[in-house]
Amino acid sequence: MKICKLIFFSTLLITAFISQAQNLFDEEHSRQYAEFLFSAGKYEEARQEYKRLLLLDDLNTDVRLREVQCLRYSGQLREALKRMEDYRKKGGIISYSIEIEYVKLLLLNRESTTFRKVYLPQSILNDSDKVVFILIDYLLNKDFKKTDEFRASENFSNPAYKRLTEINSELQSIRMKNPLVGGLLSTAIPGLGKIYSGFWQDGLISLLYTGMSAFQAYRSFKKDGIRSIFGWYSAMMTAAFYSGNIYGSVKAVSKYNQLKTELFNREIEEILFNYY
């Protein structure tokens, strides 16, 4: 009799344990666990949980959004956009949050044509949000003519919009350097184009290397005549250094301009990334 009671209670305990274990993996608990992982910054692990939830309900817009956000926060911008477009093709309820996320991904992936010509004509965004995204698109593409026209025709109290207009003014106040000028300066005096770009050390090295190899070629030809092997070798090295110096100067000017705008680009992307 005692053995029967023991078996009975053991069976009850095991059944209760199994039932509790199943509850830990039901939809509600899985959602809570996925949110915990997302909040902890474990985006890939969270994404796997959201994907499992989508097997239960493929049209759940909140879970769709979170899965795409996991990709975005982990830096997989192109994959996030592809995933979002797949969801939009599958249909279901399109929430406002989904629309905001889709626009973010279009702009972060520099899909300006799709944003302007395909998305905007059918956009459901309110005017304030639409203005912010359009201005971000223009700024990322350095389309200052349109930003000025746009700024003159729109006036919103949105904090993001206010900062974006300030960035627009600051970007246009930057004095960019001309790559052609850099190349011409280094054609006249090796390294001068790099100095013009602010890269003094690189410019002096270019001048030193080109000058030394030219001097070696001159000395060799003067000593051994036109048949000097070392003279021709030094002459070829001089030509290589000289050509590289011109090309490098053009690149240096481009790098200078890029560095000048890079900080603003990062701030624009940060505004976009954290909007909403």
Tens digits of residue pLDDT in 45-96:
999 999 999 888 888 889 999 999 999 999 999 999 999 998 888 876 678 8
Class of domain 19-106: mainly alpha
User: Do 80 and 71 form a contact (C-beta atoms < 8 A)?
Assistant: yes
For residue range 177-196, list pLDDT tens digits in order: 888 888 888 888 888 888 88
Q: For the chain, what are the domain ranges?
A: 19-106, 179-263
User: Do 115 and 107 form a contact (C-beta atoms < 8 A)?
Assistant: yes
Distances in Å between the Cα of 129 and the Cα atoms of 101, 144, 150 are 12, 20, 14
Query: How far is residue 271's CA from residue 276's CA, in Å, rounded to a whole number?
Result: 10
Q: Phi and psi dihedrals of 60, rounded to 5?
A: -70, 110
| CA torsion through residues 65, 71, 72, 76, sign | negative
Query: How far is residue 162's CA from residue 168's CA, in Å, rounded to a whole number?
Result: 10
For residue range 233-243, list pLDDT tens digits in order: 877 888 887 88
Helix H segments across the chain? Answer: 2-24, 27-39, 43-56, 61-73, 77-90, 96-108, 112-113, 127-140, 144-153, 159-173, 179-188, 192-196, 200-224, 229-274
Query: Residue 2 pLDDT > 70, yes or no?
Result: no
Query: How far is residue 25's CA from residue 219's CA, in Å, rounded to a whole number?
Result: 83
Residue pointed to by tokens 């001089």: 238
Token representation of residue 240 = 């290589």
Residue pointed to by tokens 């389309």: 143
Token representation of residue 112 = 């300006």
Q: DSSP characters for 69-108?
A: HHHHHTT-HHHHHHHHHHHHHH-S---HHHHHHHHHHHHH
User: Do 136 and 161 form a contact (C-beta atoms < 8 A)?
Assistant: no
Closest by CA position to 157, among listed 133, 128, 130: 128
% the chain with pLDDT above 90: 22
Token representation of residue 200 = 């003094």
User: Confidence band (pLDDT; 50, 70, 90) for 25?
Assistant: low
Query: How far is residue 217's CA from residue 186's CA, in Å, rounded to a whole number?
Result: 20
User: Confidence band (pLDDT; 50, 70, 90) for 151?
Assistant: low
For residue range 202-214, list pLDDT tens digits in order: 888 888 888 888 8
Distances in Å between the Cα of 59 and the Cα atoms of 84, 128, 256, 262 are 13, 28, 48, 39
Q: Is 12 helix (H, G, I), strand (E, B) or coil?
A: helix
